[in-house]
Amino acid sequence: MAPPPPPPPAESLPTCDSKRSISTIAIIMAMQTEALPLINKFNLSLALHSVFPVGVPWVRYHGTYKGLSINIVLPGKHPTLGVDNVGTVCASLITYASIQALQPDLIINAGTAGGFKAKGACIADVFLVSEVAFHDRRIPIPAFDLYGVGLRQAFATPNMSKDINLKAGKLSTGDSMDMCPIDESSIIANDATLKDMEGAAVAYVADLLKVPAIFMKAVTDIVDGDRPTSEEYLENLSAVTAALGQAVSQVIYYLNGKCISEL
């Protein structure tokens, strides 16, 4: 019997994706206001030739930082109301379309969130999220209940978490900004420090298409405080998005030249 062929020389072994430097990131955000500090800081330009289907309102800003291709993707505005297309439906669509079109090495879902002071959140804190789940998909049938909650882990970044000083916490996602008592019980069951309207939807798509995803959320309002949510949110939005921009910039500087497996 012929001897087995020798192993290929080391340099011809296929390179594992996680050993290659991160070359493209897609930052999925919901609101133009949230994105502006980053667009300005990295001098990103509005993409004129859309990689998305004709007619959709989705918007991409792009540019490079030391060879790293940065894309910020937003769901754009509602055609008649003129407001940003927030929430899980639009977030999942733009995440899917961005992965298909841009083949990013990493997804960053960055945005604002409500925070629970009982879990240590303060206005303008920026959190690096450890896990995400839904709080408004209640299906009280065995196994469908867990499907509804849709718990997913963020991509683990032990080194980055040590090197960049951000608070850590769990995120709960739903399609409402207010919080009814039954949502509150689900958020408590999710052990969440933060409440947003996109994270778990982005996580679902990233998981489906096997793209690592991290979640950075800045606190605009205290959910368990005494102020009306929308009033507190609007009052803090500008200062908090500046803090979010700073934190995401730190992450971008950190990513430069690194492999996914080094994070």
Q: Which is nearer to ligand ADE, 155 or 233 (CB)?
A: 233
- CA–CA gap between residue 188 and residue 181 (Å, rounded): 11
Q: Does 221 bind ligand ADE (CB under 6 A)?
A: yes
Tell me how far, at minimum, the Cβ of 203 lies from ligand ADE, in Å: 15
The count of chain residues that interact with ligand ADE, using the rule CB under 6 A, is 12
46 backbone dihedrals φ, ψ, rounded to 5°:
-70, 130
Q: Which is nearer to ligand ADE, 34 or 105 (CB)?
A: 34
Among 85, 220, 236, 241, contact with ligand ADE (rule: CB under 6 A): 220
Q: Which is nearer to ligand ADE, 172 or 263 (CB)?
A: 172
Which residues, 175 to 214, sit near ligand ADE by CB under 6 A? 177, 195-197
- For this structure, is 198 an active site residue? no
41 backbone dihedrals φ, ψ, rounded to 5°:
-60, -45
Q: Which of 99, 87, 107 shows the shortest CA–CA distance to 30?
A: 87
Tell me how far, at minimum, the Cβ of 110 lies from ligand ADE, in Å: 12
Answer for the pair 225, 119: CB distance below 8 angstroms, yes or no: no
Tell me how far, at minimum, the Cβ of 194 lies from ligand ADE, in Å: 9
Q: Does 34 bind ligand ADE (CB under 6 A)?
A: no
Q: Which is nearer to ligand ADE, 37 or 104 (CB)?
A: 37
Instruction: Supply 102's token pair.
Output: 């841009």
Among candidate residues 136, 196, 221, 232, the one labeled active-site is 221
- For this structure, is 221 an active site residue? yes
Q: Does 133 bind ligand ADE (CB under 6 A)?
A: no
Q: Which is nearer to ligand ADE, 99 or 200 (CB)?
A: 200
14 backbone dihedrals φ, ψ, rounded to 5°:
-60, 140
What would you report as the CA-atom Rg of the chain, rounded to the nearest whole angstrom? 19
Q: Which of 201, 228, 203 shows the shortest CA–CA distance to 213?
A: 203
Answer for the pair 108, 248: CB distance below 8 angstroms, yes or no: yes
Among candidate residues 11, 34, 163, 224, the one labeled active-site is 34
Answer for the pair 262, 212: CB distance below 8 angstroms, yes or no: no
Amino acid at site 54: V
Give the β-pairing of 194-196 and 106-115: antiparallel
> By CB under 6 A, which span of 96-104, 133-141, 221-229, 251-259 interacts with ligand ADE?
221-229
Name the closest residue to ligand ADE (Cβ): 114
Q: Does 250 bind ligand ADE (CB under 6 A)?
A: no
Q: Which residues have CB under 8 Å from 166's CB, separation 6+?
A: 126, 127, 128, 216, 247
Which residues, 222 to 241, sit near ligand ADE by CB under 6 A? 223, 229, 233
Q: Which of 85, 61, 34, 99 shows the shortest CA–CA distance to 240?
A: 34
Query: In the complex, which residues of this chain contact ligand ADE (CB under 6 A)?
Result: 112-114, 177, 195-197, 220-221, 223, 229, 233
Active-site residue set: 34, 221
